[in-house]
Amino acid sequence: MQVDGPPILEIRGLHKKFGALEVLKGVDLRVHSRELVFIIGPSGSGKSTLLRCCNRLEEPTSGSIRVEGVDIMASGVDINTVRRRIGMVFQSFNLYPHLDALGNVTLALRKVLKKPRAEAEEAGMRALARVGLADKAKAHPNELSGGQQQRAAIARALALEPSIMLFDEPTSALDPELVGSVLAVMREMRESGMTMVVVSHEMRFARSAADRVLFMDQGVILEQGPPQKLFNDPDHARVKEFIASIERH
């Protein structure tokens, strides 16, 4: 992993309030090219809100977010152009039921990037092949397993050739036996150099694949470091307690 050069994602002093509830309390984060950053922590700690602020699906209350050097909070920024550089994969697959897998993957290529159908379908097939779904291009979501639907959602994001991919609990809605196929795709993406920020409870994957693990609690990053350090020898008592509780299950 290279850490030279400017970060792809740089967050400074990020705050987010929902009414009186302060969910993010001044988060700083830099993610460099080809880095896989894993964010762990208890429910309600602000992990998903942080991800959703990165492409302004949630509007931050204050702070700055730069993607490839572009201040996405600046007035006049074309947020749709920025979002094309930031792939996002959610817990729910958000596929259109009336479109087949290829149709779902190519929709943004055709409607947003205005690519001709043939060019969009070629890019869509490449993305489906990358996630192991080339043979399911004509299948509709109801004909796919949960794991296949999530892989189709990953292909949809990959087809836009983003600079960074954000994953928000990508396996939490899946049956346990389907989780492995999604993690295998994420591992391949990591090996091919995709920059990724992952919120997930898949601790074994975090241990083996992450460059850096962040622990969030109550809207702040309490600790961060290489997975071996964070999982085996954390500095913070709250992190120790959390790791011990998840390893008992």
pLDDT of 79: 87
pLDDT of 249: 61
CA 178 – CA 181 distance, rounded (Å)? 6
CA 36 – CA 210 distance, rounded (Å)? 5
Which of 39, 55, 14, 79 has the alpha carbon at shortest distance from 211? 39
Other Cβ atoms closer than 10 A to 128: 26
Structure tokens at 43: 């429910």
**How do residues 176-218 score in pLDDT, each as one tens digit?**
888 999 999 999 999 999 999 999 989 999 999 999 999 999 9
CA 173 – CA 171 distance, rounded (Å)? 6
Q: Which portions of the chain are predicted below pLDDT 50? A: 2
Structure tokens at 39: 């964010």
CA 86 – CA 213 distance, rounded (Å)? 20
**Do you know the residue count of the chain?**
249
pLDDT of 96: 95
Structure tokens at 41: 């922590």
Which of 16, 133, 141, 139 has the alpha carbon at shortest distance from 73? 16
Alpha-carbon distances, residue 163 vs 37, 59, 90, 148 (angstroms): 14, 21, 17, 23
